[in-house]
Amino acid sequence: MDVELRIMKNSTKIQLGQNGPFVSRLGLGCMRMSSIWGGSTPDETESIATIQEALDRGINFLNTGDFYGAGHNEMLIGKAIKGRRDDAFISVKFGAVFHNGQPVGMDLRPIAIRNFIHYSLTRLGVETIDLYEPSRMDNSVPVEDIIGTVADLIKEGKVRYIGVSEITADQLRKANDTHPISALEIGYSLADRQIESELLPTAKELGIGIVAFANTAEGLLTGEMKAPLRVNDYRNHFSRFQGDNLLHNLEKVEVLKQLAGDKGCTPTQVAIAWVKAQGDHIMPLVSMSRRSRLPENIAAMDIVFTPEEMNTLNTTFAPGAILGGTYLQR
């Protein structure tokens, strides 16, 4: 049975693209199940159990990158889905090049893409990747050449659908003109709304689904962050989390915490629910590495806002209200 035709158990479905697949409305980001930014690798047994329980609960969209943990993430997913391939819809990003755990550039040449795909298929233990997408466009290779190469992989049966990530509106149009794009993966949250001006409207016009990651803005919107951050916290590199910027931003988060408390939920749930509420074509992609996070994040998908609550959130977190940038800034 095709993965997109399976009935979701505890999650509504979303169609990625006008003629694309139906997948769970909540996506599971697997990145944090591997070493990131040179950190330690979480417990593999718990990570595999998290993926399997997510599948049991109807979350079938699994997001990874071939550079997450130098291939570790794909191998982990491969172990988790062994014997239940039809339960999972696998999204893989490619193109980023890392050395010693740090990004050093992009390789989007057609010859490199044709190399990357075979490593990913082997590590995942599958014959076809459901959604394959360049992780970013850096203008080193024409958009038409990148997307055209992935379209060739569709003809070869190695890929089902094409996605893109970290892209401009102009690049998105070029990509979609080359081959229908099913999904745009992009950072989107109450704190990061810059894509609303041009990129989101373009995707909606073209009928492209949105896979929205970083819903809590690197933890800012969880309500658990305190100033100053620990000295070894990777977020200290970003101006958003430095000095007066962080103090200002945490004042905004107090409003989020108050609203969440009044609704009997957590700030994280409100942040996820707000992303979902921005459109039927938008999927919140939530990173998890522990089963204990699943119930809270799944419950967030049922939260609805009154007009007054939505106005409070949109006013408090109006574009530009959060000071400083992260790597998500465009």
Q: What is the pLDDT of residues 109-162, one digit of tens each?
A: 999 999 999 999 999 999 999 999 999 999 999 999 999 999 999 999 999 999
Cα–Cα nearest to 135, from 161, 119, 115, 113: 113
Residues 47 and 289 sit within 8 Å (Cβ to Cβ): yes
Hey, CA dihedral for 186, 190, 191, 194, is it positive or negative? positive
How far is Cα 132 from Cα 116, in angstroms, rounded to an integer? 11
pLDDT bin (cut points 50, 70, 90) of residue 9 is very low
Tokens 């108050």: give the residue. 258
pLDDT bin (cut points 50, 70, 90) of residue 41 is confident
The answer on pLDDT for 39 being more than 90 is no
How far is Cα 177 from Cα 147, in angstroms, rounded to an integer? 10
Catalytic residue numbers, as ranges = 68
What integer pLDDT is reported at residue 37 of this predicted model? 66
CA 216: distance to chain centroid? Answer: 12
pTM of the model: 0.93
CATH class for the region spanning 3-219+267-305: alpha beta
Tokens 């810059």: give the residue. 194
What integer pLDDT is reported at residue 10 of this predicted model? 40
pLDDT bin (cut points 50, 70, 90) of residue 234 is confident
How far is Cα 178 from Cα 147, in angstroms, rounded to an integer? 7
Helix (H) or strand (E) holding 309: helix 307-316
Angle made by CA atoms 133, 41, 268, in degrees to the nearest 5? 70
How is residue 287 written in tokens? 């990173």
The answer on pLDDT for 5 being more than 70 is no
Give me the amino acid identity at 31. M
Q: Rg of the Cα trace of the chain?
A: 19
Helix (H) or strand (E) holding 96: strand 96-99
The answer on pLDDT for 6 being more than 90 is no
What is the chain's mean pLDDT, rounded?
Answer: 93
How far is Cα 106 from Cα 313, in angstroms, rounded to an integer? 37
Backbone angles phi, psi at 182, to 5 degrees: -85, -35
pLDDT bin (cut points 50, 70, 90) of residue 65 is very high
How far is Cα 17 from Cα 152, in angstroms, rounded to an integer? 19
The answer on pLDDT for 266 being more than 60 is yes
The answer on pLDDT for 11 being more than 90 is no
What integer pLDDT is reported at residue 26 of this predicted model? 97
